[in-house]
Amino acid sequence: MNIIGLIIINFFVISVESSHFRGASFSWAPMSSGSIKVDYRISWRRSDNNHNCDDNTIASGTTNMEGDLCSDYDCFLLEYYCTDYSEVDDWTSGRNTLYINPPTSKFDLIFDGNDWVVASGWSLLITVDLTPRLDNGFINSSPTVDYPPVVNLQYGCKHSIIFPIYDVDGDIIRCRWASGKNECDSVCRETYNALPSAVLDQNDCKIAYTATDQVGLYPLAIQAEDFMKSSPKVPLSSIPIQFVVNIYDVNYGSCDTGPTFVSPTPDTGECFSVDVGEQLTINITVTGITRLNSIETTSVIGMQRSAVTTWFDGVSYYMSVLVNWTPTSEADGQDHSLCFSARDTNGRYSDTRCINIPVGAPIPTAVERNGTTNSWNIVFDRTFSLPESYVELPVVETRTGSVVFTLDTGDPTYVTYFPTSKNMHVTFDFAFDPTEDYYVIIPEGLVRSIGNCPALSLVKESSFWTIEIGI
């Protein structure tokens, strides 16, 4: 055997024995029982025997496992339900939830090991703080995020990596490069410095990058953190997002001739609010001048993919798949994501898109009057986020049906939001006539659901919101 043959065999042995980690992300939320719920995605090399996954594995709900998440006091096995896999990119990815009895009110959780896809040791750090928040007395929840294990970027082209990240408390969210042994071990920016020209927009949690680095695999480690609006310097919690960038090159076409998504495929960041028990169907359709090879998804436990359909319209090739999901009660009150990308038979990829699927949009359930004042408390059935743009709240005189007054819900003099205690206080600066009846119209988008979808408008009947004067 010649020397080249030996080198190839050696390389092959090494790549089978190790390099099986493909990233993970974690988030946490307090439970009313006092325990904390840790949700995670974890991804591995699919050709590793411990991490087999195919359509049967997903359908049967069998689990794989590897590694532990540890506090100073205890460790928890990271078992997962495979949700997605890629044959060509050789990954298996899954999700699961752990319930942990907090050892103290403030602690760290670490997941570490030795075999990143390249580089060596991995480490991910989650900080948990269960002391009541200074701004509202409630216990914080961390931001939530999901992202594919591998994102494929064509050499020489401009790309953006946009994380579908949310915070149930409506906090300020910022992202930064992970730093130090516990947050990133062998793939820290300060030492490993993968993709040095990639720019992380800390406020929008997205990365802008023109792929000028060598073709290959690059693990990236990001921390997402939430901050109180009243104290925007000290993070309430910190969670990791780690994944792999694959820079590939093809001797074919230019940057914009790869597969592209077409209608009715949702756009990046689009929001689909769905209720428990209700079926959501997402149609992903991609087109290209080359025959298409696959559509890869990163999905929620329980989502089902249809078989792909393909066709050619005489000019372009098409591939389409439906993703169906009927959320169960475990998914309620949380934001979920679906990410997807497509590949053609020349090995070119589309961009990667992620959409948000909050389960259960907030519904106003009551308007409580505060004594004989013009102050009212609008109660919602769940936590919500503040709107991006504020709507007006019209007050209607019942007898004439005319709007006598509109309240700007963005005016802090008259409106205060309490997202985690599920209500908002409004004061009407208006002299009501005690001989008339009035009602308030609750418009769509008064608040948003946790995943950023506008809340539903639920004026069931005008009498529900009646303002009684002079009692």
Q: Which residues bind ligand NAG (CB under 6 A)?
A: 264, 283, 285, 306, 309, 320-322, 370-371, 373, 375, 377, 425
Minimum CB separation of residue 284 from ligand NAG in Å reads 8
- Please say which residue, 71 or 285, places its beta carbon nearer to ligand NAG: 285
- Please say which residue, 239 or 321, places its beta carbon nearer to ligand NAG: 321
Minimum CB separation of residue 367 from ligand NAG in Å reads 12
The Cα–Cα gap between 351 and 256 comes to 10
Q: Cβ contacts of residue 445 below 8 Å, gap of 6+?
A: 387, 389, 391, 454, 455, 457
Beta-bridged to residue 356, according to DSSP, are: 271, 337
- Please say which residue, 2 or 373, places its beta carbon nearer to ligand NAG: 373
The SS3 call for residue 324 is strand
Helices assigned H by DSSP within 53-134: 55-60
Minimum CB separation of residue 311 from ligand NAG in Å reads 8
Asked if 349 and 360 count as a contact pair (C-beta separation under 8 A), the reply is no
Q: Cβ contacts of residue 96 below 8 Å, gap of 6+?
A: 39, 40, 42, 63, 78, 79, 80, 81, 301
- Please say which residue, 150 or 319, places its beta carbon nearer to ligand NAG: 319
Minimum CB separation of residue 323 from ligand NAG in Å reads 10
C-alpha of 126 from chain center: 16
Asked if 321 and 306 count as a contact pair (C-beta separation under 8 A), the reply is yes
- Please say which residue, 276 or 308, places its beta carbon nearer to ligand NAG: 308
- Please say which residue, 390 or 414, places its beta carbon nearer to ligand NAG: 414
The Cα–Cα gap between 109 and 215 comes to 34
Minimum CB separation of residue 315 from ligand NAG in Å reads 15
Minimum CB separation of residue 401 from ligand NAG in Å reads 28
Minimum CB separation of residue 275 from ligand NAG in Å reads 23
- Please say which residue, 122 or 380, places its beta carbon nearer to ligand NAG: 380
Cis peptide before 219 (omega within 30 of 0): no
